[in-house]
Chain A
Amino acid sequence: MSDVLKYFRQERLPHIWCPGCGHGTVTGALVRAIERLGLDKNKVCVVSGIGCSSRAVGYLDFDTLHTAHGRALAFATGIKLARPDLKVVVMTGDGDCTAIGGNHFIHAARRNIGITTIVMNNEIYGMTSGQYSPMTPKGMVGTTAPYGNVERSFDLCELAKAAGATFVGRSTTYHVPLLIDLIEKALQNDGFSVVESIGQCPTYLGRKNKIGGAVEMLNWIKDQSVNVKAAAALPPEKVKGKFLIGELHNAPAPEYSSEQGELIGRVQRNYSDIKGGLWECASNSD
């Protein structure tokens, strides 16, 4: 079996994403990063929220959890804290993560809990057919911004860094080798890692804004990106209006669930001789 397909529930393929949608590419990048690291399929848990991107987990042959809109990180926090030994990955969309899920996103980053979050950012709500999202570039059209979006979008990577994420990187569905490298590093970071992948939604963003199909959108995305290393050497006007791709932040710090583990160890040593009280009730159960 091919190196890639052995990570898929093949009986559920082909997937539901539209022809040319970037979500399949990001899913393939995650799988290839996992393949490189040789992770044990039985110890990987992939959690997602609601939206086109969040359907990815249903196709992956791990313990997978398709949760409520915006809540993937909160569900994943429960899994990671209960089982710190598992490799927990969250696959989420731009709306799922930064709109309804924004609060859980900044708090998971603040805690630096060991979760790798892959934000499959196609800058639109795809599942509900084309509404603008917090990541839709200003001025672009969505079904709920028929005259052009007047809102500014987040710089998701700056937001993640400011909230406390200890690994942050951005790539695109055009720059797939870079995307795989970033996901691989993100998976190796103990704490909270964010990889934003900007990708194409030809069916809605591309069509509603007359950018074109998947190929035209990939060129459109490529032209807006500049590698963070290259940007350092470029004059400001060359970088203006473009987004940076590459590793943007990497500052390892103690991971939340292991910090809790150490604390519990200390508490148990101090209370090892406790008798009676509430503790007594807990002694008889598993």
Chain B
Amino acid sequence: MRMRQLVPFLLAAGLSTAALANPYETTLKNGLRVIVKEDHRAPTAVQMVWYRIGSTDEVDGASGVAHVLEHMMFKGTPSVGPGEFNKRVAAAGGKDNAFTSRDYTAYFQQVPKEKLADMMQLEADRMRHLNVDAKEFEQEIKVVMEERRMRTDDNPQAKLFEQMNAVAFQAHPYRRPIIGWMNDLETMTAADAKAWYDTWYVPNNAYVIITGDVDHKEVFAQAEKYYGPLEGRALPPRRQQIEPVQEGPRHVTVKGPAELPVLIMGYKAPILRDIDKDSDPYALEMLASILDGHDAARFNKKLVREDKVALSAGIDYDNTARGPGMLYLHGTPSEGKTIADLEAALRAEIVRVQKDGVSTQELKRAKAQLVAGQVYKLDSMFGQAMEIGQIESVGLPYQKLDHMLDKLQKVTAADVQAVARKYFNDDALTIGVLDPQPLDGKPRRPAVATRH
């Protein structure tokens, strides 16, 4: 209950936490940044260690190695045997896991606060002392192949998304799936994983985020004790890989066992690089909210509820990334409607914004949701750590998160109309279609009508 007095203050300041020093930050001599966000509502803590390394840093023939290494990180060091990491976290009453994305690889533990120092010791140990054992690798690579089968190979919708990105991007590494192509997993060796680890797992390529019922000064002291002795090392230069400008629409069809067709329309879209100077990524985010931010937002209201052309329709747009951006419109046509019908309906909604704009009421609604979301997000310590981790992973400072909100609040209806006119351009469009196939060889519904 100690934060009770702070809440009105937080709200009065327009949800700005800038006036409070929280979160706190320090950088160790070896280059490791430590960010602490104190939250005293419950006696728990979250530690996340983020490495600035993801599938985008892989090379052809070795796709998936970032994720495989993430699995190997649980396989032991000279002082912590194979499987022992999980055992110690469990003994501490904690939960742990890890995830790999295109841009980063991150590890986390949620623990009772008394156990935080033990978790820091464990993470520091595996930051520089991992054993990449060949025998462990031999078993674990099979586990990763099973993971790929589960997530992608037997999931036609996921496979469509994988293929779409392989077509939308030709030069940029975002064309490769994070989990890796199956053939690359089959030929991968323990030496590949070891080389990845030796190159990229150094304190100056990482940052630690801790949220919870902790004192930042104590956490900094523990960080110095456990992470401080690790040696930093210069990182190899990373080449900037720029996707050539797309000069015409692209199409990809995936056939798979399913009942319902799926349409994805992916447009190349801008990414936030400069929080202060950029404006289009904010306007596109508000557009996404107006089209798909609640049950009566435009897509659901018009396409699903009124015209019944779609069983579902949505938009996905993430305006932060290290690499290039995409905005996806997606949906499934209703019984009796085709992919072409759905595509026409989605396009008509975009044209409506291009011609008539959006109402101030719609914009106000999207902003009200944003404000409430800022309060709701404080309900999760893990969510707060994630927010800081993700923004930092793309090279933007977490101190400017509040400023991003201000920028979103300042988006006007004219801004939204302008980005709708600018980015929904067929020359930058990739269309992906899932063509559902019967499981038993008997056609169950008419073939999908596509336009190519």
Q: Do A and B come from one complex?
A: no
